[in-house]
Every structure is written in structure tokens, then in C-alpha cells.
Structure 1
Amino acid sequence: METGIFFIVLPVILLLVYFLKQQWSRRHFPPGPLSLPVIGGIWKFNFGIGYTVETLIKLAEQYGDIFLLWAGHIPVVILSGFEAVKEGLVDHSEDFSERSLTPYIAAISRGKGVGFSNGHTWEQQRRFGLVTLRKMGVGKKSMEGQIEEESQQLVEVFAREKGQPFDPALPITNSISNVICAISFGYRFPLEDETFKELIDALTFTLKFGGSLFYVLYEMFPWLMKHLPGPHKESLHATEMLLSLAKKEIQKHKEQKSFQEPRDFIDFYLLEIEKRKNDPTSTYDEENLAQNIHDLFVAGTETTATSLKWAILLLANHPDIQDKTYKEIEDVLCSSSFSYQDLKKLPYTNAVLHEIQRSKYPLLFGVTRQIAKDVKMRGFLIPKGTAIIPNIRSVLLDPEHWESPKEFNPNHFLDQNGHFVAREEYLAFGAGARACLGEHLARMEFFIFVVNLLRAFRFQLPPGVKELNEDPTAGLTTPPHPYKVCAVPRCISS
């Protein structure tokens, strides 16, 4: 009997000791939800405010602009609102420049590439990425030609629907992904290509998994999840598929020796490997190259594709804004050809593009960082190695800085005379040392695709539909719920 009581009481005492130890360890941390044994503070999602795109914003309203959320035994500090996020990403740029290598992130990146590497590796890979994208023409006509070609392919796909209701999601993802293919491999895939279909499926599954319960479980209990079946296994397989495709393309480029006259990202990278082969400090190798390509696809496809899905939905829901945008485009861009530089002549169009990405930010909150050294913010001591989430969504919806944060309102980016106004609070591409590597590419794509689609079609709601759902889905990315729209050719539009 006494033995039985002992085995009941002992676990209770151990849990209590663990709980008290954890409370003591967090005494200098910011406030946050009560951390329970094993699950930490995530109980708040299911038994409190629920899990939506605004969950972290609601927690900030309760605990402050800097608060702590325990994910199991892992402390995560969340920065919310423009002032707090700016203080972290800009004022403490170098201190906040590391990526948090959580168990899942470590498994899919191995600390390589540009997305989730740190230190010397990250510095070299990022510098190479910035320089190479510039060489290849980001911001120049050569790159615009590839984007223009892909946007016209999308126009042709939409035209086949002949103005009838259809779901634009997959064609958009295919087109944006093919832009990354052209940059990485030097060519685009036919849409019916089986390898391309596998690539899209792998990308879709990876991003869907990133916002799932199984992802959270993997981060909290990696030692257990590695031995259990589930979608985490499929996600890791999808990563291997992307890396395998990249390595096959790398091998093809090596055999063709095309890097002697580089035309795409792989060529430029292989040339850099050759140049640095006697440099002992070089991190340029084929493993990093393959991971870079993986990162380009994951980061460069879904975010821009999500923004384009939102663009069509919002313009269909707001025909007055759509018509005003189209009129400005037609009045200013007299010829059929145009360039990214023409955006400067289109203040209203520019405001609409910014407002789409402000009101419908494509990520759940922003990419997690990690503190490189102990940092003191607003009286709180945040220890080195702590994971940091800069909640970019909270910045773009901050009621202290936006007149009508939850409305789709292009006037947020216009002055009284209709001139475009750049806003410091517009942090859709991040800030500081880890600001989005592909920002200029993404801006070019978004502009060129939207202009070509609006010139070709007027987007209308299907018959009988009064309004499309403007609530985002809550995952790693936040696309709209599936919808159908009518792309009515301009030549027959009333």
C-alpha cells in the first residue's frame, strides 16, 4: 500500500519541482501565459483564445508588446506592434540576426543554405545571393523578361476558362514556382511535367505541415516523433525530394560545364566554388548550393503566390478599386510593353499593391529569430539563444499607425494629393540584417503579374455570390480560403 502511494506521490512532487524551477528560471523574462508542465503555454490556444491569425495579437493585448510563450520547455519571446518589432529588428539588428535551429528546422536545413544558417556560413551565402540576383537582373530588364513570359503564360491559362467561375490557386502557384525554376535552373517546366507536379506537391505539403499540430509536436518532442509515423515523416521526405531535384540539376550543369558562361543561379554558384577552391574559409559547396535552391523555392514561391491569390480576391470583392487601378494603368502605360520602373508613374496602383500585402500579410507572423547574445529590452533580460518571433502581422495591423488597419484601404499609402507615400511601418519584407533576400524579386513579380492580369481581365464574383471570404487561413502561410472567380476578358467586358 505504501509503495503504491509512493509511486503516486513521487511523480506529483517531481512535476511540482519542475514547475517551480521553470517559474524561477523565467523571473527575468517578460510576462506571458502560465506555463504548464510538458505543454508550456500553448494550452492557451485550445482552452483560451483559440488559434487564428490574430492569436498572438490577442495575447499581446493581454500581456504587452513583449511577452513570453513557452512551447513545451522552449521559451519563445514575441515582439508585437511597430515599436517593439522595430526595436528588435532594427535597433538590435545584429543581436537578432541568428536563426533559431529548432529540431525540425535543423532536420530540414542542417544549418546550411541561406534561410536557416548562421555565422560565417550565413554571411557568405547571403552575400552571394544578393550579388548574384543583382547580376542576373533583379531590378533589370533581363529578369523582367522571364517574369513577363511567365505572367503571359498565366494569362493564357486564365483565358481558357472563358469567363466562367474557376479556382485560380494552382495556376498561380505553378507560375510563380516556374519563375524560381527559371532563376535556379535556367528554364521553366511545362505544367504537365511529372517532375514539376512532384515539386509543387512537395512545396505545398512542406508549407502546410509547418502550421500543423504535428509540427509543434515534432519541435517539442523530437526524440519521440522520430520513432512515430505521421505527416512529419512525409514532410521530411518532401524536403529530401526538393534537395534531390536540386542535386540532379547541379550535376547536369557540371556535365554541361555551362558555368563557364553563367546564365542561372546554379551556374554562378558553381563558378564561385571553382574560384574559391583553395580558400580554407570558403563555405561554397554543393550541399550549400542544393540547400539554397530549396530555400529559394520554399520562400520564393508560396509568399508571392499567396499575395497574388489575395490580389485577385480583393480586387473582385472591391470592383471600384479594381476599376480605378485598371484606368490608371491604361492611362499611363500607353504601349503594351512596360517595365518595373513604370511603377513610379502609377501611385494608385503602387498603393493598391502595398495595401494588399499590408492587409493580407502572407505569413502567420514572421520568421523566427534567435538572440545572439544577452539583450535587455524595456527592462526585460532576454538570454542568449532565446527564440524570438517578430510578429510582422501585428505591425501591419497596428491600430496606432494605420487609420483603418482591418480594412482594405489603399489610402493608407496615399497623401491628400494622391501621391504615393512610403510608410516606415510597412515591414512586409522584414527589417534589419535578416530582411527578405528576395524582396526586389517579389516586388517585381507582384507588379508585373497584377498589371498583365488586370490588362487582360476584369475579375468578377461568380453569379449568385455576394462576397468572397476575406478571412485568411491560419498556417505557416495565410492564403485565402479556396474560392472561385470569373476572369472576364476585357475585350468582351461591359
Structure 2
Amino acid sequence: MASITPIFQDFQTAAPFATTVAVGGLSLLLVSYTVRGYISSHKKGPSKLPPVPVVPGLPVIGNLLQLTEKKPHKTFAKWAEIYGPIYSIRTGASTIVVLNSADVSKEAMVTRYSSISTRKLSTALKILTSDKCMVATSDYNEFHKTVKRHILANVLGANAQKRHRCHRDTMVENVSSKLHALTRNSPLQAVNFRKIFECELFGLSLKEALGNDLKSIYVEELGSTLSKDDIFKVLVTDLMEGAIEVDWRDFFPYLRWIPNKSVELKLQRAASRRQAVMNALIKEQKARIASGEELNCYLDYLLSEANTLTIEQISMLVWEAIIEAADTTLVTTEWAMYELARDLNQQDRLYREIRDVCGSDMITEEHLSQLPYLNAVFHETLRRHNPVPVIPLRYAHEDTQLGGYHVPAGSEIAINIYGCNMDKKQWENPEEWKPERFLDEKYDSADLQKTMAFGAGRRACAGSLQASLIACTSIGRLVQEFEWRLKDGEEENVDTVKLTSQKLHPMQAIVKPRN
């Protein structure tokens, strides 16, 4: 959902949707950021901002072939310590301006928004998003305003969240029941938390988008019946992997005439399979509607209210609701449980807070405002393990200024959220996971933008409310009902999936029911 909204690359396993949009935005960065740095001051004369170090490269191609770094957001943050919070890099035929502090990033997202509100998509994202037919990847225009209004009205807005409350409650209950069953049958066996939570979160996304969960569906265009796991692979995993496909022609548009069939065929196959499954899902739901059965779901709403949209656009928007809800919230919740299982003192502190507030009652969403440490755990996890390390690239369609520097039209803007949250000028010991920092009175517990995890300004993530409700209630319930301890050796498994912040290896924990 923009669940913690949109989106980045090279996945060997299902990566956060940190969103499809995040994945695609970073694929451009993935193959390019070491080339050459420069930025010109808005004042006359040379820039006072030191350039990124230049490593000898090939003419025209520059340093593209020398790239081995898979986590550019971390390299960007290191460069920021030397060259300051804003600098630019050469990427083939393009210039990317990289922002690494909260102040200059908010300036870009709020103050200078009108100058840099458009997207420049990679070949992969053009194909996989039907050329911007999504809220997360569209330019800020009438289409974007319309479809964002639709998703807020039926899925992500405050009133919509009240209507979907039953789905969130069911999800948490199912996760709890599965954990109790596993600990009862195999009390000493480590639990794969991701496998359980991912399945239930995907089920919730299907209910919100289509009205019900499902175990399987026959897809006529593919000539086979797909299980729920197969559907997840086609709608989420395969698309995430496709979104990170790098087409070298993206960096040298004047060579677009040269064919690159292998990449195009792979992307078109993934998009075709996605569309076939969506067609089957929508066909099944249309039959339900024709029979007179109406459900509170996004598809029913769009079919009845979105009269200006084509059926192809509706299909893309329903898919967007599925993939976004099924992804980034998982990343945040898994990291939070990892950190709590790693530090039993912090886990015990959270348990005592929940016990004092809830007593013998199970934690519910109504309790969240009374649980400051739980909210601190959530925000600190977003800060330290942000699901979208770099916001999808924006495009400056006119000359503008950022951080006191001139940014010429045609530049692309990369907002390094990881760099903002690792800024030592703003955060003390930023490498540490320390929820207590958010108990300081200078932080408003209701301020979801404190870590910039949900962006800012007009393109702020529409799914911030849902993400916080799901993650906070789930974390609280899991700690309230179970004691968590990492499996031996698990503490060292902190590597992430390429450009994302998703754990490379699913968390393995020994789980013991309380009382």
C-alpha cells in the first residue's frame, strides 16, 4: 500500500514493495551512481560543494561497468558525511541530485514540489505499471488526484479503515492461532515468522481489494489452477523481481533503437501473467456482483464509482492495492520482532507496558494511543530499517533550487531516506536501534512523518494509517501472548535483500506462550 508506501530492486526473494515503485526507482540508481559528481551553486562562480570522487572510467560509459555496490543508499549516506547533504552524480546521459538530510528532503517534497512532481520511469516500470497507471508511479496530475481520492475513500482513509477493521482483527487472530499451534506441536523448534505473517497479510490485502481471501483460482489464459502461493508469486514476487530489471538503454536514450529483447520479453511475460491472474480474479468477483452479492471492497467500489476509468486502469489499481498492502508492513513488523527478540530487556519493557494498560484483555487498536513505548518501537523500526531506503526518483521539469544550490531542469531527484535517518546531526548514535529516543517530549507521538518513512507533502504515503494500525497491533499482540528469543546464530543474520531493507533471511525465533 504504499502500506508503508511505495518501492526497489534485484530480488532473490520477494522484496518489499517498498513497493514496486521503490524498486523501479532504485534500479536506475543501482547501475549508475558512481560515475561523477557535480552541482552548481545558485550563486555565480564554481560550486562550493565538493564533487563525488571520480574513478577512471570508459568514455561515455564512464564507471557503469565498474559498479559492484548493491546498497547505494548506504554509499550515499557515507558520501553525505564528506560532501554534505546534497550533491549530484552523472548517470550516463542523466544527472541525479541526491538528498541526504531531512531539511533539504522536506524542501524538495513540500516547498519545491511544483517543480519536481513528475516521474521518469525505467523501461521495467513503464511496462509493469502500464505507463504510470498507479497512484504511486503516476505524475501529480488529475489522474493521480482522482485515483488517490478513490483509494482513500475505499481502502486507506480513516472511514475506510473503520469499515475494514474486521479484516485486521481477523489477521491478528489468525497469526496468533498459528503461532499457538506451532508452539504446542513443536515447542523447541524455531518459527519462521515471515512465512506466517506474510500469508495472513496477503489474505488481508485480497479481502480489501477483492472482498474475500481465496485458496486457489482457475486462470483460463494460463490453462491452470493456481494456489494462493502461486497467486502471490505472480502478483507480488515475480513483479518485484521484474521491476529491478536493468535496461542499459535507460541511461543512453539516444541508443534506444538498439533492441534488447531478452529484458523486454521477461518483463512482458511477467506483466502478461499478472494481467491473466487479475482478469481471472476480477471475472470471479463480477460473477459474484451479478448474483446480487455486494461486498465492501475496492473492486466493487471502482466498478460502481470510477466511471471515468477503463477496465485496464481499474485492474492496475486493484493490483496496486494488493501488492502494496501485502509487502512493506511485513518488512517493518519482521524487523521490530527481530529487534525485540534480540533485546529481552526492551521486549520485557514493552510487555509490562501492555500488561499495565490492557490487564487481562487482549490488546486492540483502541489501546494504541495509551502505549507510548509500543509507538516508539514502531517509529524506531521505521527509522532504523526503513522499508523504502530511497524514495522513487522525481524529475525536475523546470529550473529550481534545493539546499541553496541551483538544480537545472532535466535533473532527477533521489531522496535518500536512509541517509536522513542516519544523519548524526539529527540522531544520536543512529546505528543503534533505541526506541527510547522517541519517548523524548520533542517528538509528537501522532507525528507519522518524524522519520520521513511516509514521505511528506502532496505525495505523502496514503497508507500510513493502515500501516501503523496493522504493525502496532500485531507487534503488541505478539509480545503480549509470547516470549520471543532469537534462534542461536540468528543475531548475525542482518543482511538485506540487495537495495531493500527486507531481511535477506527470514527471522527464526524460539517462541514460548506466556502463562
Q: TM-score, normalised by structure 2?
A: 0.79
- 2:324 counterpart of 1:299: yes
1:120 aligns with 2:120: no
What is the CA deviation profile of residues 398-446 of structure 1, one whole-angstrom value per residue up to 9, with x for unaligned ones? 1111122110101111127999584864211111111112111111110
CA distance in 2, matches of 1:402, 1:195: 46
Structure 1 residues 320-331: aligned runs within 5 Å: 320-331=345-356
Tell me the equivalent position of 1:143.
164
Structure 2 match to 1:75: 95
How far apart, CA to CA, are the structure 1 residues paired with 2:37 and 2:473?
54
Q: Which residue of 2 aligns with 1:246?
A: 278
Q: Percent identity?
A: 23
Alignment CA distance shift 1:139-1:176 (3 Å): same
Aligned residue identity for 1:271: S
1:107 aligns with 2:131: no
Correspondence for 2:44: none
Give the deviation of 1:100 after TM superposition. 2.1
| Unaligned 5+ runs, structure 1 | 1-21, 277-281
Gaps of 5+ in 2: 1-34, 42-46, 218-224
- Relative to structure 2, which stretch is displaced further, 88-97 or 371-380? 371-380
Q: In 2 relative to 1, CA 314–53 (structure 1 residues): closer, same or farther, beyond 3 Å?
A: farther
Q: Equivalents in 1 of 2:282, 2:158: separation in Å?
A: 18
Shift of 1:169: 2.1
1:487 matched to which residue of 2?
Answer: 511
Deviation at 1:38, TM superposition (A): 4.5
Cα distance in 2 for residues equivalent to 1:343 and 1:272: 33
1:376 aligns to what SS in structure 2?
strand
Give how far 1:61 is off: 2.9
Distance 1:416 1:250, change over 3 A: closer
Pair 1:466–1:370, CA change in 2 (3 A): closer
Q: Distance in 1 between matches of 2:474 and 2:491?
A: 23
What do residues 441-488 of structure 1 show as CA deviations (whole Å, max 9, x unaligned)?
1111101211222222111122x4473433434324533534421121
Instruction: Give the 3 Å change call, closer, same or farther, for CA 157–236 of structure 1 in structure 2.
Output: farther
Matches of 2:101 and 2:158 in 1, distance apart?
36
Match of 2:470 among 445, 455, 458: 445
| Alignment check: 8 A CA contact 2:98 2:413 kept | yes
Q: Highest CA radius of gyration, 1 or 2? A: 1
CA apart distance, 1:106: 1.1
Contact 1:260 1:271 in 2 (8 A): no
CA distance in 2, matches of 1:114, 1:50: 27
Alignment-derived partner of residue 399 in structure 2: 374
Residue type of the alignment partner of 1:215 = V
- Choose the corresponding residue for 1:176, options 196, 201, 216: 201
Return 284-293 or 154-163, whichever deviates more. Answer: 154-163
Counterparts in 2 of 1:53-452, with a 5 A limit?
A: 53-109=73-129, 110-118=131-139, 119-133=141-155, 137-140=159-162, 142-162=163-183, 163=187, 164-190=189-215, 194-202=226-234, 203-211=236-244, 214-215=245-246, 217=248, 219-220=250-251, 223=256, 227-229=260-262, 233-257=265-289, 261=294, 263-273=296-306, 276=307, 282=308, 284-334=309-359, 336-415=361-440, 420=445, 422=447, 425-452=450-477
How many Å apart are 1:489 and its aligned residue?
1.7
Paired residues of 2:98 and 2:416 also in contact (CA < 8 A):
yes
Letter paired with 1:54: K
In 1, Cα distance between the equivalents of 2:275 and 2:426? 42
The code of the aligned residue for 2:297 comes to D
Deviations 1:222-263 (A, max 9, x none): 858963436x74454333333332233333333333699551
Distance in 2 separating the partners of 1:127 and 1:314:
36
Residues of 1 paired with 2:298 and 2:437: CA distance? 37
Higher alpha-carbon deviation: 349-358 or 289-298? 289-298
Matches of 2:214 and 2:484, distance apart in 1: 27
SS in 1 for 2:424: coil
Q: Secondary structure at the match of 1:94?
A: helix
- The count of aligned residue pairs is 455
Instruction: Provide the C-alpha distance between the structure 1 equivalents of 2:442 and 2:37, rounded to a whole number of angstroms.
Output: 56
Give the 3-state SS of the residue equivalent to 1:389 in structure 2: strand
Which residue of 2 is the match for residue 17 of structure 1?
none
Q: Deviations over 1:188-240 (max 9, x none)?
A: 134999342123223123324545xx42646446858963436x744543333
Residues of 2 paired with 1:167 and 1:454: CA distance? 16
Contact 1:429 1:436 in 2 (8 A): yes
In the alignment, the residues of structure 2 paired with residue 337 and residue 460 of structure 1 have an alpha-carbon distance, to the nearest angstrom, of 22
Partner of 2:23: none
Distance 2:490 2:124 in 1: 42
Distance in 2 (CA, whole Å) between partners of 1:304 and 1:383 is 36
CA-to-partner distance for each residue in 1:67-93, whole Å, 9 max, x for gaps? 222333232221111121111112123
Which residue type is aligned with residue 356 of structure 1? T
Is the 8 Å Cα contact of residues 483 and 514 (structure 2) preserved in structure 1?
Answer: yes
Deviation at 1:45, TM superposition (A): 4.1
TM-score by length of 1: 0.82
Deviates more, 1:144-153 or 1:465-474: 465-474
Q: 2:153 touches 2:160 (CA, 8 Å); kept in 1?
A: no
C-alpha spacing 1:114/1:389, structure 2 compared with 1 (3 Å):
same
Give the letter aligned to residue 305 of structure 2. Answer: E
Q: Secondary structure of 2:415's partner?
A: strand
Deviations 1:11-48 (A, max 9, x none): xxxxxxxxxxx9999867984454854444546743xx
RMSD after superposition: 3.3
CA distance 1:263–1:451, change in 2 (3 Å): same
Q: Give the direction of change, closer, same or farther, for the CA distance of 1:197–1:324 in structure 2 (3 Å limit).
A: same
Q: Which secondary structure state, in structure 1, belongs to the residue aligned with residue 508 of structure 2? A: coil
1:373-422 alpha-carbon deviations (Å, 9 max, x no partner): 32122453323343211111111221111122110101111127999584
Contact 1:144/1:339 (8 A) holds in 2: no
Structure 1's 26 and 413: CA in aligned 2 closer, same or farther, altered over 3 A?
A: closer
